[in-house]
Structure 1
Amino acid sequence: MMLIEETAPAAEALPVAALREHLRLGSGFEIAQDSAETAALTGFLRAAMAAIEARTGKVLLTRRFRMQLDDWRDRLGQPLPLAPVIAVEAIEIDDGAGTVTQLPVASWRLLPDSQRPMILPTGVILPHVPRRGMVSVVFTAGFGADWASVPADLAQAVLMLAARYYEDRSLDGGRGAMPFGVTSLIERWRQVRILGGRGSREMRR
């Protein structure tokens, strides 16, 4: 499976002001509001978001992804590797010989789920993927477009982790371990990943 993030969260959606306040309260010092410091805080927030999303499989701010598979994991239903999924925009099958076919919307449906959303066939099974072909699924996932949409515990975990990155910015390997407080906040959001979104041919290798 290959998962490509096609859009990124807008910088304005990131809680830079909240992180600045969190750092001020934690250190007792005012954090500068110049452009260089703002850019640094934005970078720490993006890194913290990426780490939290990787641990939980949850997309915090809405954006578009493309999942590419060499085959369906199961033609009775294909799990998506991220949640919550808002919409599946397109499903395409490349036959490996230059022909790409977009599946009719009427041939599949999205089964929403907080842990493992799925694409299900409206008929008996999902369409055949040629042996040298590939299937691509374009979907939009996330809790919302603004930070207020992110669940409170996940939002707090991001701030705490970004603050740790900020404090450890001069240390080599400072981003290796996730603080216990952060892991406690995200624990209920974590999912057990069995096979993920891998295609059936990939599983047989």
Structure 2
Amino acid sequence: MSPALPTPPIRLDGPAVEPVSLAEMRLDLRLDPDDTAEDGLVAALLAAARARIEAETRRILVPGRFRLVLPAWPSEGGLTLPLAPVVAIEAANLLARDGTATALPVGLLRLGPDRVEAPVLLVEGSPPPLLGRSLALELGAGHGGAGPPVPPPILLAIRRLAALWFEHRGDEPAGGLPPDAAALVAPYRRLTL
């Protein structure tokens, strides 16, 4: 079989809770507890900092459901998924061009043993022929919730990045992460080819 190159994953639900709370960030910034005028800005900076750290580490830092569509079955060695960490395969369907979906038997697909650093999709037994259909997966993925907790250095990097942006709002941002945040997340960066 040829390797199956998936479409980019699509998040089916938005982040329910950011890994760093507004209350935690307000304490870090030493904001007056009675003045909530900056709360909208601080919440937006936290979301932006989390997204930036996600992009840098290639990890999902809040749990969610994602759709991934494959044009072919994974090869014998499996397919390394473009999401990490992956918690579960929640649904697997064969998707026809007209949009109709046919559910696949439970147990036909499984995840390899390393679901955090290099999640791999494996096929058990003989899969049915695709016959012009695609393999559509819904995956539970992300740190928190049923997944592993967000590593403390990543939480610290989010707080430091949000604090930097708060203190220097209006200034032109420098390219890349600041050195302290980059050093904190470097050990957690997933490498891909």
Compute the TM-score of the two structures, normalised by the length of structure 1: 0.78
* Structure showing the higher helix proportion among its residues: 1
* Match in the other structure for 2:188: 189
Q: Check if 1:16 corresponds to 2:17.
A: no
* Secondary structure of residue in 1 paired with 2:82: coil
1:41-120 equivalences under 5 Å are: 41-72=42-73, 74=75, 76-113=77-114, 114-120=116-122
* Secondary structure of residue in 2 paired with 1:192: coil
Deviates more, 1:55-64 or 1:137-146: 137-146
Show structure 1 runs of 5+ residues with no match: 25-29, 195-205
C-alpha distance in 2 between matches for 1:160 and 1:98: 45
Query: 1:182 corresponds to which letter in structure 2?
Result: A
C-alpha distance in 1 between matches for 2:12 and 2:176: 28
Percentage of pairs with the same residue: 35
C-alpha distance in 2 between matches for 1:69 and 1:34: 50
> In structure 2, do the counterparts of structure 1 residues 70 and 165 end up closer, same or farther at CA, with 3 Å as the change threshold?
farther
> In structure 2, do the counterparts of structure 1 residues 109 and 98 end up closer, same or farther at CA, with 3 Å as the change threshold?
same
C-alpha distance in 1 between matches for 2:33 and 2:170: 18
Q: Check if 1:171 corresponds to 2:157.
A: no
Structure 1 residue 152 displacement after superposition: 0.7
Q: Check if 1:161 corresponds to 2:167.
A: no
Query: 1:181 corresponds to which letter in structure 2?
Result: D
C-alpha distance in 2 between matches for 1:187 and 1:36: 34
C-alpha distance in 2 between matches for 1:12 and 1:58: 14
Compute the TM-score of the two structures, normalised by the length of structure 2: 0.82
> In structure 2, do the counterparts of structure 1 residues 95 and 54 end up closer, same or farther at CA, with 3 Å as the change threshold?
same
C-alpha distance in 2 between matches for 1:22 and 1:119: 40
C-alpha distance in 1 between matches for 2:113 and 2:55: 20
Structure 1 residue 189 displacement after superposition: 0.8
> In structure 2, do the counterparts of structure 1 residues 13 and 183 end up closer, same or farther at CA, with 3 Å as the change threshold?
closer
> In structure 2, do the counterparts of structure 1 residues 58 and 80 end up closer, same or farther at CA, with 3 Å as the change threshold?
same
